[in-house]
Chain A
Amino acid sequence: GENVEQHPSTLSVQEGDSAVIKCTYSDSASNYFPWYKQELGKGPQLIIDIRSNVGEKKDQRIAVTLNKTAKHFSLHITETQPEDSAVYFCAASSGSARQLTFGSGTQLTVLP
């Protein structure tokens, strides 16, 4: 089955700096890669996703890049703000393995 590895497990940045979280996956059939943000006491919330026919996608301060050859994808957050502090999860799925396989999560702390 699919295996998704996520790094780093914790990340601290100064407000206004950029943050980058990286994930690798094992199943070459995976072609949908969402990113979720989970705040304390809440369920995960989708913040951006990318499909395998796209190399990069951007939504305001958030961007995701995908390298299918190397089987890795990354989340980029620019101009970080304290409200960006949360746990971020990457995930992967495919038409054959329909469930989401999640990475282990990254605790992002934005220092004021």
Chain B
Amino acid sequence: KAGVTQTPRYLIKTRGQQVTLSCSPISGHRSVSWYQQTPGQGLQFLFEYFSETQRNKGNFPGRFSGRQFSNSRSEMNVSTLELGDSALYLCASSSVPRYDTEAFFGQGTRLTVV
């Protein structure tokens, strides 16, 4: 069974640009969550999607957005990139959107903003 797939693995963008990251959950999983990982702030929750609906959102500015498609694949978008957006962006999928259901993480997308 294939795991969570995130593309691309690495990205370099210029300040002010926008970026879109993609996540394909484990087959059959319908809940997708996104996290930002930085050395300074650690792992922080961005948002959660289930059945194409955002169910929960973390404390991030509106420049961070996401969506989920009918096949459960998800994308997140960051507009007007800032240097501080450089991070590892992790996607996690779960079979159901319960708070105590195992979350399976992908390998992440390493975003560097220059």
Q: Which residues of chain A have a CB within 8 Å of any CB of chain B?
A: 31-32, 34, 36, 41-46, 49, 51, 89, 91, 93-95, 97-105
Cross-interface CB contact of B100 among A89, A93, A99, cutoff 8 Å: A93
Q: Which residues of chain B have a CB within 8 Å of any CB of chain A?
A: 4, 33, 35, 42-45, 48, 55-56, 58, 90, 92, 97-100, 102-108
Chain A residues near B107 (CB-CB < 8 A): 41-43
- Tell me the minimal C-beta distance from A21 to chain B in angstroms: 15
Across the interface, do B105 and A44 meet the contact criterion of CB distance under 8 Å? Answer: yes
Chain A residues near B104 (CB-CB < 8 A): 46
Across the interface, do A102 and B48 meet the contact criterion of CB distance under 8 Å? Answer: no
Across the interface, do B33 and A99 meet the contact criterion of CB distance under 8 Å? Answer: yes
**Nearest residue, chain A, Cβ from B6:** A43
A99 to B103, CA, bound (A): 10
15 other A-B residue contacts (CB within 8 Å) besides A46-B104, A100-B33, A100-B43: A32-B99, A34-B103, A41-B107, A42-B107, A43-B107, A44-B90, A45-B105, A46-B103, A49-B102, A95-B99, A98-B48, A100-B103, A102-B42, A102-B44, A104-B42
**Nearest residue, chain B, Cβ from A96:** B99
Across the interface, do B33 and A51 meet the contact criterion of CB distance under 8 Å? Answer: no
Question: Can you pick out 9 interface pairs between chain A and chain B where the beta carbons lie within 8 Å of each other?
Answer: A32-B100, A43-B107, A44-B43, A44-B90, A46-B102, A46-B104, A89-B43, A98-B99, A105-B42
A51 to B103, CA, bound (A): 15
**Nearest residue, chain A, Cβ from B90:** A43
- Tell me the minimal C-beta distance from A80 to chain B in angstroms: 23
Asked if A102 meets B43 with Cβ closer than 8 Å, knowing A42-B107, A43-B4, A44-B105, the reply is: yes
Chain B residues near A101 (CB-CB < 8 A): 45
Chain B residues near A32 (CB-CB < 8 A): 99-100
Chain B residues near A42 (CB-CB < 8 A): 107
Point out which of B4, B33, B42, B104 has the most chain A C-beta atoms below 10 A from its C-beta: B42
